[in-house]
Each structure stands twice: as C-alpha cells, then as structure tokens.
Amino acid sequence: MGPVLLVIMDGVGLGPADEGNAVHLARTPTLDRLFATCPHTRLAAHGRAVGLPSDDDMGNSEVGHNALGAGRVFDQGATLVERSLAEGRLVRGRAWGELLAAPGALHFIGLLSDGNVHSHERHLFALLEAAAAAGKKRLYVHALLDGRDVLDRSAEQYLERCEGVLAGLRESGVDARIASGGGRMRVTMDRYEADWRIVERGWRAHVLGDAPSFPSALEAVAAARAAEPGVSDQNLPPFVVAGGAPIVDGDAVVLFNFRGDRAIQICRAFERDVPFDRVRTPDVVFAGMMQYDGDLALPGRFLVTPPAIDNTLSQVLVRAQVRSWACSETQKFGHVTYFWNGNRAEPIDPRLDVWHRIESDRVSFDERPWMKAAEITDATLEALGGGFQFLRINFPNGDMVGHTGNREAAILAVEAVDLCLARLSLAVSRRGGVLVVTADHGNADEMWKRSKSGELLQGAGGQPVASTAHSLAPVPFILEGAPHGMRLGPGGLGNVAATLAQLLGVQAPADYLPSLVTA
C-alpha cells in the first residue's frame, strides 16, 4: 500500500445546514464526492471526548491535536485547574507559596474570559480571593480581552464582573485593580513566533506602563470603540489604567492562562531571551498556571502540573521505523507537531519524524482567506514522493478565518481547502495510498450565533449575530483509498491514532482507544 496522508481541516465541523454555516454554504465538490463515495463517520471533538470538564465546553486545536496524536483522552488544562482549585492543592503548592512570599505586588496576566479555551475568569477570581486571604495587599490584573472564544464586543461584561470582584477586595483593605490590558490578538498572546510585536506591546503595557492611559479599563474600551467603530474585542489596542501598576523588581507575576500556545512567548519575555528590546527586565517571581513547554521547562515555576502524555502515535511509529512528515503554516504548525507529539517541542526522532513549516502572512485572515493552503499542498505533493509512509498536515483556514466572524471570507476559506483536497486526493490515489480527512473541532460551521436549541440568533434590527468562537459540532472522518469493504463506526478524536496505526500496519498500544474501523 502507498502512503497514508492525514489532512486536518482545522475548524471545519458538521453543523446545521443553515445560513450561518460557511461549510454548508461553500462550494465543496471534493468533500461532496468523498462523502458520497468513501467510508466516513462523525467524530466527537469537544467536551469530555477531548478531556474537557463538560460537554458544554467547546473543543479547541490544542486538546484536539493532543487527542489525535495520543490515541487516548487526557484530562486537559481546564479540568486540571478546576480539580486543583476544588481540592485546594493549587494554593497549598510550593509555587503559590513563593508567589506570596515576594515582597512586592502580585500581578495576574491573562485572558479575561469564560471561554474555557485559554482561561476562565473564575480561576482568576479564585486566585485573587486566595491571595487576599493570605495577606497580599496589592493585587493587579492585566486583562487581555477575548471576543474570540466568547461573543465579540462582550469585553465590557467581563471587565464589569472583574471590577466587581476587585471592588469587594478593596473594601477589605486590598489595593486591587486592573492595571493594563488590550485585545488578545494585538497584545501579549502571540503564538509560534508569528508576530513578536504582539508580545512587545504587552510587555510595554504590563511591565513598562507604556501605553495610552485611561481612568479605567472600561473607559479604555469605550475610547477604542469610538476611535474605531466595529473594532473586535480581540483587536483592542493596549492601554494602562491611570495611577498605573507596572511590574517592578520584587513583584510576583502569575500568567493565569492554562493553554500553552499563546502563553509561551510572554513566558520567554520574563525568563529567557526575546527578539525585542525589553528596556528593563524586572527581578520577579514568575509562574504560569501550568508548565506550557515541558521540553524547554517553560516556565520554570507553575501552579498546576500538566497532563503527562506518553506513548504518542509518533513514538509508536518511530519504534516501528515508519518515516513520518508533518506540515502546516505558522498559525497551526505547533498543533500538528508540538501538540500532536504530546506537548513536545522537538521531533521524537528527526530522522523519522520530519517537520516542515511554512510562514503565515501577517494580515487579517479574512483579507486573505486562502492563507497558505496552496503552499502547504505544494510541499505535501513533493513530500509524497519522498519515501514517507505517513504524512500529516493541517489547513488552518476554517479556524483562523472563522475566528474573524466574517462569513463570506469563511466560505472562501473552506473552498480554498476543498480545492487543495482535490489535488491531494489525486496524488495519493496515483501512489496507491490512503487519504484520511478529518478536523480537530468546529468553527466555520457556526459563523452566526445559534441558541442552544440550534436556532440562529438575531441582534439589533433582526440582523444575525456574528460568531467568532469554536462550535460544539462533530467533525468528519473520511477514508479514500482504504481496502475494499472497510467500514467505520462512531467515535471521537482519540480513536484516530489507532485507526492510522491499523492503516499503516502497525500494532497500536493496548491502552489506545479502538480503531474506528469496524469491518
């Protein structure tokens, strides 16, 4: 048999066939043909199926790729933090004690949201209450605003809730306030070194106090909306609150996000080297909610131990001497490598697990919804002739364009992926291989907000409400070129690794979830 190619269509779920579903509205002749002629099934890609606390929790690319590459479901960041807080272990740990022992203020940097993808506001509120109860008298929040994993233009709601908690602490004699902030895609939360300027803006606001100043965070948001009507929460500019509380020597800092991809670079700014002028680097006690990169031991101090993901499919294939190849553009490169490999920053064996990265464009993704799909496809077509037995790629389009809330651009994004699938399908078929098509979670399938009953919501004037978040939709799993008569049963993302091992003729570990192949 020829090579097995896994295509992960990031953010392409199977949602209701309505006017809010860019996947449904897109012209997708290749996907239509594959569904009509090939074995296929639907996979659960959210909630407990990927290690999140409940089935009300949307899946995301981090946990999705962990499950795809690990063959099992591990309790993930949100679940681990919830448990650690509930059992009191977090505030009894050594790292928390070291933060409290710092003589200066205690600062909290992170995404102010209840999206439960990168963070949850209740984790921040619990830590603030615990710090005040332990006697810390100066507590400052550096609030990154969401509008991506939650409804856009909802920043004011989260700021008001946070201000309510801080006001209660002030009544008990604690200087507790928001010190700085900005939108997550403009301030602090870059990933995969796509644009270090984002981290630099955060550093200047949080550490140097160098950003436009306002009497309050709410007034900063109001000013940004007045200056740029329609600006998304995720793109709000950096700000500081008058009176300021920049991070200085002797302070302690907690990065309270639990997800790693958009946390690593700001950790580097505090603990390692960065490609921008920090002006000053304060001597602080720094901790992450979790250790976001185990290979790099980054950060060195953390509050909750992350899941230990071992015996990934990459490790299994290396032991079997199967040559693999992984590719995506910058925006999802770490997902198809780092997260796929169980949160490891380097290949298991660079001779047998080869990684190829393509630089993403630095433009708003709805301005160029095709992104680098063609370049990923070109590289994959070349790699198919390179003697690799297993290839895995990620097309970021459905997710990254889906996050913009631009339905028309998302339609084009899905169509771009479908065009590339046609080229890959032909190439794999000519080599007698198997094309496996799936996704890590939904997003482009829900460009307009739906109620819990599935109905499209209406905003002011009866207009649809744009959605920038992931969805709860299942995702496709399709096999083209598989042995005749092969059938697929239901499952989740964790069942994919054993299925791939079976296609490659490799024995899956006994603790893997079973293959999706039923006959």
State the catalytic residues.
61
> What's the Rg (C-alpha) of the chain?
23
Cα separation of 17 and 23, whole Å? 9
Rounded to whole angstroms, what are the CA distances from 435 to 85, 214, 425, 498, 505?
43, 54, 7, 16, 15
Given a contact cutoff of 8 angstroms between Cβ atoms, the answer to whether 438 and 477 are in contact is yes
Q: Name the nearest CA neighbour of 480 among 154, 12, 28, 38.
A: 38
- As given in the structure block, the two tokens for residue 75 are 């309790």
Rounded to whole angstroms, what are the CA distances from 74 to 50, 51, 157?
7, 5, 32
Q: Which amino acid is at 4?
A: V
Q: Identify the H or E element spanning 143.
A: strand 138-145
Phi-psi region of 311 (alpha: psi -120 to 50; beta: other; left: phi over 0): left
Rounded to whole angstroms, what are the CA distances from 58 to 65, 78, 398, 441?
14, 11, 15, 8
Q: Name the nearest CA neighbour of 255 among 268, 240, 266.
A: 266
Cα separation of 500 and 6, whole Å? 9
